[in-house]
Structure 1
Amino acid sequence: MKHTEVAVIGGGIVGCAVAYYTAKRGVAVTIIEKDELASGTSSHCDGNILAIDKDPGFDSQMSLKSQELVDQLAKELSLEFEYRQPGSILVCETDDEMEAAEKWVKMQKEAGLPFRMLDRSDLRQESKYLADDLPGGLECASDSTVNPYMLTYALFEEAKTYGVSFLKKTTVMNINFVNNQYLIETDQGSVTAKYVVNCGGVWAPKIGEMLEIPIPIFPRKGHLLVASRQVPVSPRKVMEFGYLMSKFGGKRQVDAETERYGVALVFEPTQSQNFLLGSSREFAGFDIDVNWDVVTCMAKRGIRFYPKMSDMNVIRMYAGLRPWTKDHLPIVSKVDKYPGYYIAAGHEGDGISLAAITGKVISEMISGDKTSIETDPLRYDRFNKEVYV
C-alpha cells in the first residue's frame, strides 16, 4: 500500500498544475491517472489563455491572473511549451454586434483589461484574407497561446523535481474516508492520503459518487479541425463575436444548424505552421465520434469569415469533451462534508486558460494560506439541488 500526503485524481493539465504548485510547497503529491498524461480533454482542445471571452469582473480578472502565472511558467519550467503572447481578436459580423462589442470593451477597460475596438481598416491590416464585409471587432492584448499537451508535460516534469510520483494506467475504483484519511482503492492496489483533489474533468462526478458527493458537471462535446496553412491566414487567435453568445447561451442571427451545434468561428495558428479551426458545442453524453454535419457546418463558418479557406486542406479532425457547469465557472473548492477533499474541475473550454490559477489556489487552500484570488464564486456549495436534475 502506498501513502501520499496529497492524491491528485486526474492527469490532465489541471491535475498537473495542482501537483506542481502543491509539491513546490514541499508537500508529497501523487497523481493517479486512468490512462496517460493529457489523454482526455487536455489533448483534445486548443491552447488559448484568454481573457477576451470572459465576463467582465471576476471571470476576466481570474483569467488575467492566470495569464500572468503562465508567463511566469514560461520562465521557470525547464521544458518549452510553445508559449506566445500575440493577443487575440473578436470580429463582428453586423453593426448590431459592433454596438454590443463597444459595450463589452467599455466594461473590460473599466475592469483594467487591455481591450480596444478595431474598425474595418484595422481588420484589413490584421489579415487580407478576412471577409471584406466585416465592420470591425475588438482586441485583447494580453491573450496568449500554448501547446496544451506540452504544457501539461512541462508542469509534470517540473513537478517530478519536487518529488511528485505518477500512477498511470491506474483506475480509481472506490474511495473511503477512514480514521481521518482517505483510502483510495485502485485496480493497481490501494493508496492512502491526507488530502484528495478531484481533477477528473468530465469524470469528476463519477469520482464524487464514491463518497456520495454530487458534482454538477456535465460533458459538452466540441469539435476541432486541423488544416494546413498554405498562406499566412492570420497571425494570431481570431474568433467571431457570436462565439460569446454561443458560449453563454445567447441567441444569434445564424441558420438553424449553426445554432443547433453551437458553431462559431475560432481560428488559431499553431507554431507548426498549421491552424486549428473550431468551434462547436453540444450535449451528446460521452460520445466523442466525429459528427460530419458539425464538421461541415464549422468549415462553412470558417469560409464565411475567411473565404480563402475554401482552397485549404483539412489534415484531421477530432472531438473532445468540455466539463460544463451551469454558471460557466469551474469548481475550485473544498467540500465541507469531508475534511481535506477538494474539487478542481468544471472549467468547460477554459481548462487551459485557468489551469495555472487553479493549481496555485488549490495549493494555497491545502496549505491554509490566503488564496491569490477570491474563491467564493468557485465554491462547490454554490449549486442547489435543481442543478443535479
Structure 2
Amino acid sequence: MSMRVVVLGAGIVGAACARELARAGLAVTVLDRGGPAAATTAHGEGNVLVSDKGPGPELELARMSRRLWEEALAEAGGRPDADRVEWDPKGGIVVATTDAGARGLAEFAAGQRAAGVTVETLDAPGLAAAEPQVTRDFALAVHYPGDAQVQPVGAAAFLLGDALRAGAGLRTGVEVLGAVTRGGRITAVRTSAGTVEGDVFVNAAGPWSGAVAARLGAPVDVRPRRGEVLVTTPQPPTVFHKVYDADYVGAVGSGAEELQASAVVESTRAGTILLGSSRRRVGFDDRIRPEVLSVIAGKALRLFPCLAGVPVMRAYGGFRPYVPDHLPVIGPDPRLPGLWHATGHEGAGIGLSVGTGRVLGDLLLGREPEIDAGPFRVDRPAVLFEGDDQ
C-alpha cells in the first residue's frame, strides 16, 4: 500500500510538496481551511530571487529552486496552466542611493559573486539603458540576471494541478483542530470536517504553521510578519526589471517588530506597477495602515520620480511566515514521528517552493538531497520553543 501523506495547506509551498510527493507515487491529500493559494500566496509579488540572499543555505535552496522552476515549466510545454504562471526571467537591479548603502551593497554583491551568483555592476549609461526612468542620483547599481517573477496564484495553481494529475486529492474548507496519536506517532488529524488518517502529515500552513503545530502538540516558532503592496493603474512600459534599493536586504534580514520599509518596484504582464515593500510584526492584525502605504510610496518615488502623479488603484497586504533566524523549516519533527514541516520561508516562499518540495521529498523517501538540508532542520534553537504566544 502506498504511503499516505496529508499536506496541511494549499498555498504554493503545500502545492509544491504535494506535487513532488504525488509524482513520486505517494497517496497525497491536501487540506486547506480556505481555498488553494487564497491566503499568503495570493498576497505576494511573485518573486523568484537570488539577489536578496547572502551566501549560505537559503541561497543554495534559491538557486536550486530557480533551476527547478524552469525545468517544471519546460516539462509542461505549452499547457495553458503553464502560461498562466507568467514566468518572466527579467532579472533584478539593486540601486544604492547613498555612499554607505553602496559600500554595503558592494560587499554583499562580492560575497554572492564568490558563491557563484552572476552579478554585474552597472555604470550610469548601463543603468540608464536598462531602466530609462530610474533615478540618476545613485552611488552604485548592480544587475542580477538570475532574478525572475511569476504570477503567484497562477504559479501555485500550476503546481497543484500537477499534483492532482498525479493522483493527489484536494479538500478545502477543512480546518485542522488537533492530532490523533498512537504509540507516540501521529496517525490522523482531527478537522472541522472529521478525522483524516495518514502515515505522514506535512505542516505547510505558512504564517499559521505555528498555530497548527501547537494544535498538533509540537509547537514551532513560526509567526506572521505583515507586508503591504501598492498597485498602480496599467502604465506604458516603465519598469523593465525588479528594481529595489539597497536597504531591502537589510529589511528582509531584520527581526525588528517595528516597520521596516524599502523601495521595491516592478511591473506585471498586465501593465500595472507593484510598489513595495514593508515588514511589520503585528500578529494577524490585517488592517491596512495609510501611514505605511505613505512610506512605501515615498521610497518608491525616490527610485522612480516619474511615478509621481501615477494613480494607485488598490493596496493589499498579507502575512509572511517569519522564523527568528530567517531560514525555512523543512523536515521531520523529532518530537512527534509522522509530523513533517515545510514552512518559515517568510517572503521567499514563491521562489523557494519547488526546491522545498524537492528537499522534503528526498528526505521523506530516504534520498540524499542535492543541497545540505541540515540548516533547515526542525530541532534547531530558532524553531523549537516553549510558550503559548502563537
- Is this a same-fold pair by TM over 0.5? yes
1:379 matched residue in structure 2: 377
Q: Aligned pair 1:71/2:77, yes or no? A: no
User: How far did 1:221 drift?
Assistant: 0.4
Q: Give the alignment's Cα RMSD to 1 decimal.
A: 1.9
User: How far did 1:71 drift?
Assistant: 0.6
1:347 matched residue in structure 2: 345
Give the whole-Å Cα distance in 1 for the aligned partners of 2:94 and 2:87: 21
Deviations 1:5-62 (A, max 9, x none): 0000001000000000000000000000001000110000101100100011322121
Q: Aligned pair 1:270/2:268, yes or no? A: yes
Deviations 1:321-341 (A, max 9, x none): 011111111101211122221
Match of 1:358 among 353, 356, 365: 356
Give the whole-Å Cα distance in 2 for the aligned partners of 1:320 and 1:28: 31
Moved more, 346-355 or 171-180: 171-180
1:27 matched residue in structure 2: 26
User: Helix, strand or coil for the counterpart of 2:218?
Assistant: coil
User: Helix, strand or coil for the counterpart of 1:264?
Assistant: strand
Give the whole-Å Cα distance in 2 for the aligned partners of 1:250 and 1:134: 27
Q: Aligned pair 1:213/2:218, yes or no? A: yes
User: Helix, strand or coil for the counterpart of 1:63?
Assistant: helix
Equivalent position amino acid for 1:93 in 2:
T
**For the Cα contact (< 8 Å) 1:246–1:264, is it kept in 2?**
yes
2:175 matched residue in structure 1: 171
1:281 matched residue in structure 2: 279
Change (3 A) 1:168 1:293: same
Give matches, 1:30-41, under 5 Å. Answer: 30-41=29-40
**For the Cα contact (< 8 Å) 1:239–1:267, is it kept in 2?**
yes
2:52 matched residue in structure 1: 53
Give the whole-Å Cα distance in 1 for the aligned partners of 2:42 and 2:364: 28
Runs of at least 4 residues off by over 3 Å = 384-389
Gaps of 5+ in 2: none
Match of 1:245 among 226, 247, 250: 250
Equivalent position amino acid for 1:76 in 2:
E
Percent of matched pairs sharing the same residue: 30
Change (3 A) 1:266 1:41: same
Deviations 1:232-254 (A, max 9, x none): 22111111111111111299xxx
1:234 matched residue in structure 2: 239
**For the Cα contact (< 8 Å) 2:258–2:281, is it kept in 1?**
no
User: How far did 1:100 drift?
Assistant: 2.0
User: How far did 1:260 drift?
Assistant: 4.7
**For the Cα contact (< 8 Å) 2:3–2:26, is it kept in 1?**
no
**For the Cα contact (< 8 Å) 1:218–1:325, is it kept in 2?**
yes
Moved more, 93-102 or 187-196: 93-102
User: Helix, strand or coil for the counterpart of 1:184?
Assistant: strand
Give the whole-Å Cα distance in 1 for the aligned partners of 2:235 and 2:327: 38
TM (norm. structure 2) is 0.93
Give the whole-Å Cα distance in 2 for the aligned partners of 1:362 and 1:299: 39
Q: Aligned pair 1:200/2:205, yes or no? A: yes
User: Helix, strand or coil for the counterpart of 1:356?
Assistant: helix
Equivalent position amino acid for 1:234 in 2:
V
Give the whole-Å Cα distance in 1 for the aligned partners of 2:7 and 2:72: 20
1:256 matched residue in structure 2: none
Equivalent position amino acid for 2:303 in 1:
F
Match of 1:225 among 230, 234, 257: 230
**For the Cα contact (< 8 Å) 1:277–1:302, is it kept in 2?**
yes
Give the whole-Å Cα distance in 1 for the aligned partners of 2:214 and 2:60: 32
Equivalent position amino acid for 1:325 in 2:
V
Give the whole-Å Cα distance in 2 for the aligned partners of 1:215 and 1:290: 28
**For the Cα contact (< 8 Å) 1:102–1:117, is it kept in 2?**
no
User: How far did 1:231 drift?
Assistant: 3.2
User: How far did 1:378 drift?
Assistant: 0.5
Give the whole-Å Cα distance in 1 for the aligned partners of 2:75 and 2:296: 38
Deviations 1:272-296 (A, max 9, x none): 1111110001111101121100011
Match of 1:98 among 95, 102, 108: 102
Equivalent position amino acid for 2:330 in 1:
V
Deviations 1:182-237 (A, max 9, x none): 12111112110000000011111111112321211111100011112433221111
Gaps of 5+ in 1: 252-258
**For the Cα contact (< 8 Å) 2:232–2:273, is it kept in 1?**
yes
Moved more, 308-317 or 98-107: 98-107
Equivalent position amino acid for 1:290 in 2:
I
Q: Aligned pair 1:188/2:200, yes or no? A: no
1:254 matched residue in structure 2: none
Change (3 A) 1:208 1:115: same
Give the whole-Å Cα distance in 2 for the aligned partners of 1:67 and 1:241: 22
User: Helix, strand or coil for the counterpart of 1:235?
Assistant: coil
1:303 matched residue in structure 2: 301
Match of 1:136 among 137, 140, 149: 140
Change (3 A) 1:144 1:229: same
Change (3 A) 1:134 1:231: farther
Q: How many residues align?
A: 380
TM (norm. structure 1) is 0.94
Give the whole-Å Cα distance in 1 for the aligned partners of 2:90 and 2:192: 45
User: Helix, strand or coil for the counterpart of 2:235?
Assistant: coil
Give the whole-Å Cα distance in 1 for the aligned partners of 2:386 and 2:276: 28
